[in-house]
Amino acid sequence: MQNATFSDLRPSPIAGSWYSSDPAELKADIQGYFKKAPSPAFGGEVVSLIVPHAGHVYSGLTAAHAFKALDGRHYDKVVLVAPSHHAYRSALLTTGHQAYWTPLGAIPVDHTSLESLELPIEPVRHDQEHSLEIELPFLQTLLPQGFDLLPIVMLEQSEITAQSLGQALAQWANSLSGQKRVLLVASSDLSHFHSESQANLLDGQIINALKTMDPAELHRVARLGKGEACGLGPMAAILTASGLLGANHLTITDYRTSAAVNHDHRSVVGYVSAVITKPT
């Protein structure tokens, strides 16, 4: 599927900056992250992942800890929910193109399934959003047989919007009646530009909320200012959908900050990854 020819590709605005534009170098970088990341210890069937979305040099290793759970598995459709860092008119966005392009190939967009969600999702062309695209090379590397993509970008990250999206995704996935294997992915970084000690406290509260698998607790922590996440809405939506699909356990696979790379402990960004599973 990812090797198919498409006439209308969403061009990458970040290849060559956020990650390598050279296919061989990009693949080698990602395989290097997978080599460094231990295989995550979890039980059950993988329903969804939570992964960070900074440039690969900063968050690639943390992302690899969760993505590695997909090794040897196959998925027909991947739902990827990410936050918007750009202003648009609508609460929910998707691409207006036929497929996404990365240096590793093209990924077809399942517009039919997106329309079946019956939510007002605005198609956008030539967007500049990095938070969704940054995850695609990992998926292309671990799912070489290809997959259909449902890309959703959240401008509005309120509790009610996240809940509505999560419920719609679960209803859609259940409508497939097991005929297609579905993976859900939430893209989010954690706190931004605090000292590392403060970031550890804030991020720890978000991580504890994630472990409860309760979207309301995630929003409560953020509302009280006890924790921060730029992709709070995507994480809450995926938690909601995962729970409705039978998932009951979340395993944190890695946590670190940008200081692990640039050694600046005065102002950091937090990164976490997780695997969400249901009983086999």
Domain containing 162 — which CATH number?
3.40.830.10
Q: Is residue 44 part of a domain?
A: yes
Q: Is residue 255 part of a domain?
A: yes
Q: Is 273 within a domain? A: no
Cβ-contact 51, 66 below 8 angstroms: yes
Between CA 150 and CA 136 the distance in angstroms is: 12
Token output for 277 = 């599973």
User: Could you tell me the residue range of the domain that residue 246 belongs to?
Assistant: 18-190+212-260
Cα 242 to the chain's mean position, in Å? 14
Are the C-beta atoms of 37 and 254 separated by less than 8 Å?
A: yes
Residue 198 lies in a domain: no
Residue 267 carries which side chain, given as an amino acid letter?
S
Written as tens digits, the pLDDT of the chain (280 aa) is 444 678 899 999 999 999 999 999 999 999 999 999 999 888 899 999 999 999 999 999 999 999 999 999 999 999 999 999 887 777 899 999 999 999 999 999 999 999 999 899 999 999 999 999 999 999 999 999 999 999 999 998 999 999 999 999 999 999 997 789 999 999 999 999 999 999 999 999 999 999 999 999 999 999 999 999 999 999 999 999 999 999 999 999 999 999 999 999 999 999 999 999 999 8
H runs (alpha helix) in 117-263 = 136-142, 159-175, 196-212, 215-223, 232-244, 259-262
